[in-house]
Amino acid sequence: EADIYQTPRYLVIGTGKKITLECSQTMGHDKMYWYQQDPGMELHLIHYSYGVNSTEKGDLSSESTVSRIRTEHFPLTLESARPSHTSQYLCASSDLADSYNEQFFGPGTRLTVL
Amino acid sequence: AQRVTQPEKLLSVFKGAPVELKCNYSYSGSPELFWYVQYSRQRLQLLLRHISRESIKGFTADLNKGETSFHLKKPFAQEEDSAMYYCALRGAGGTSYGKLTFGQGTILTVHP
């Protein structure tokens, strides 16, 4: 079944640890996105990709990095987690051929850095 | 720069009452606007887009370029409409191509 998967769903980790948030989609989409969302607040685009080996920074500056080695996989990495990184991270994808650019969202990863 | 503003963080109505969720935007070009919805314990999902001029679950939204608004309306609210609603804008070219800018969101609660 076509879907977007994010793991882990919840992560509690100590300061200074390196973490990778996984995002995979079986939608066959070229475009993928990472959003950061604090509770009850707006979504902020932090990274996006239009295809393999394409990554761009979004509107909100982030210390995280991303990679796009395979079409279906778009992991986000924090080299050294800090409490300010505590947030919810949403992954999304859309079809390059879809002129409406409807974005499909994953379930999110809620990250807490102690 | 593109910006989306949803002035109401919380909106409460009673079942059967009309509801309007406000959205204002700023964008120098010709925008494409969307409403996304997140029900409790569900993912964020597209509700409707202005270009389709459709009615989804009884909701409609009209793009008013003069007032730079895209308010979401429903004549008779239902309890199952309770959710978080986000207005979003897509830029139509240049560096903003394809990217969505979201508003702050409005939590709608429909009381029985």
The per-residue pLDDT for range A15-31, each reduced to its tens digit, is: 999 999 999 999 999 99
Between CA A23 and CA A90 the distance in angstroms is: 9
What Rg value do the Cα atoms of chain A yield, rounded? 13
Give one DSSP letter per residue of A48-107, joined into a string: EEEETTEEEE-SS--S-EE--SBTTB--EEESS--GGG-EEEEEEEE-TT-TT---EE--
Residues making up chain A, counted from first to last: 114
- Cβ of B99 within 8 Å of Cβ of A48? The answer is yes
- pLDDT tens-digit map of A74-90: 999 999 999 999 999 99
**Chain B contact present for A59, CB below 8 A:** yes
pLDDT confidence tier of residue A32, bands split at 50, 70 and 90: very high
- pLDDT tens-digit map of B82-112: 999 999 998 765 555 567 889 999 999 999 9
Phi, psi of B18 (to 5 degrees): -75, 150
Phi, psi of B96 (to 5 degrees): -95, 5
Q: What is the mean pLDDT of residues A66-74?
A: 96
Between CA A85 and CA A89 the distance in angstroms is: 10
- Cβ of A41 within 8 Å of Cβ of B104? The answer is yes
Query: What parts of chain B have a pLDDT lower than 70?
Result: 92-98
Question: Count of CB contacts below 8 A, A vs B?
Answer: 49
Q: Which of A83, A54, A63, A75 is nearest to A6 (CA)?
A: A75
Between CA B61 and CA A18 the distance in angstroms is: 44
Q: Which of A14, A12, A1, A4 is nearest to A34 (CA)?
A: A4
Quote the pLDDT of residue B78: 97
- Only one residue has tokens 């409409």, namely B81
Between CA A75 and CA A71 the distance in angstroms is: 11
- Burial of B88 per CB tally in 10 Å (0-12, 13-18, 19+): buried
Shortest Cα distance, chain B CAs vs residue A16, angstroms: 30
Tokens of A90: 């949403």
- Cβ of A45 within 8 Å of Cβ of B43? The answer is no
